[in-house]
Amino acid sequence: MGRACAYCGSTEIRPSNRRNALDILLACVFLAPFRCRVCRQRFYRMWRPSLSQPADPPMAPVLVMRAPRGTPKVDAVQPPPVKSPFEEPKLQPVPSTSSGVILIFESDLSIRKLLGRLLERRGYYAVEIARAEDLASELANSRADLLVVDVSSTKAAGVQSVVALAQAHPRLKILAVSEQSLQEYEIPGRFLSLLKPFPLDSLVDCVDRLMERSRSAYNGL
């Protein structure tokens, strides 16, 4: 009496469309004709509304959708910091291994680089300066220990400018390089002069003397 073919047992059955006298007679006792889709045999079953529908209706397609990405919170997104055009440039940190900060005020690039490398080999931290504006900025930061200056690179006042600079910065030691003797302006331990031309060892000796260092401490350099 179930929904299956009486001959092959298949559930693929459907109501038979053809009618004859036997079908009308059996309909009085609620028997209806069916036909198997597999073996094509015709048979009778007790009529039920469910027999007119397929046994297993096709499953509806399932659409799988990815979960939507979370919308970022406005508060969580931090805008990049805006750098003010009036912000002062940060000073470069002085290496902990340096024995002092030396400013090299020289307009000639090749000489400036040569003196810078020479003093850095001696363990100093050299800051190369080509303009008077940059020299004023470095001195305002009060981090320099010694200034190596070519008197010809200063303004028209020449030696007087260097002397005034020494008076304005009592803590700053100065080594002045000049084509004329400046011994009359020298201050022991604070202001020394070096006459051009000079050997590089003489400049290193003057720097070490002002910085109170012995050459024997760096005889391996």
Average pLDDT for 69-90: 59
- Predicted confidence (pLDDT) per residue in 135-150, tens digit: 777 777 767 888 888 8
Which pair of structure tokens corresponds to residue 143? 């981090």
Which pair of structure tokens corresponds to residue 192? 């020394």
Average pLDDT for 158-163: 76
Query: Judging by beta carbons within 10 Å of its beta carbon (0-12, 13-18, 19+), is residue 1 exposed, middle or buried?
Result: exposed
Local structure of 192: helix, strand or coil: strand
Class at the top of the CATH hierarchy for domain 101-216: alpha beta
User: Please, which pLDDT band fits residue 28 given cuts at 50, 70 and 90?
Assistant: confident
User: Please, which pLDDT band fits residue 6 given cuts at 50, 70 and 90?
Assistant: confident
Q: What are phi and psi of 40, to 5 degrees?
A: 65, 15
- Predicted confidence (pLDDT) per residue in 183-203, tens digit: 788 888 888 888 888 888 888
pTM of the model: 0.50
The reported pLDDT for the residue numbered 86 is 54
The reported pLDDT for the residue numbered 179 is 81
* Position 152 pLDDT exceeds 80: no
Angle at 143 between CA 152 and CA 192, to 5 degrees: 40
Domain boundaries, the chain: 13-52, 101-216
End-to-end CA distance of the chain: 110
* Position 55 pLDDT exceeds 70: no
Average pLDDT for 30-53: 78
Higher pLDDT, 5 or 50: 5
Distance, in Å, from the CA atom of 218 to the CA atom of 207, rounded to the nearest integer, reads: 13
Average pLDDT for 44-71: 62
Average pLDDT for 56-63: 56
Q: Could you identify the residue written with the tokens 């007679």?
A: 25
DSSP H helical ranges for 82-189: 109-121, 132-140, 159-168
The reported pLDDT for the residue numbered 215 is 45
- Predicted confidence (pLDDT) per residue in 91-124, tens digit: 566 565 567 888 888 888 888 899 889 888 888 8
Which neighbouring-strand residues pair with 125? 101
User: Please, which pLDDT band fits residue 220 given cuts at 50, 70 and 90?
Assistant: very low
Q: Could you identify the residue written with the tokens 């391996």?
A: 220
Query: Judging by beta carbons within 10 Å of its beta carbon (0-12, 13-18, 19+), is residue 162 exposed, middle or buried?
Result: buried
* Position 54 pLDDT exceeds 80: no
The reported pLDDT for the residue numbered 221 is 42
CB 40 within 8 A of CB 24: no
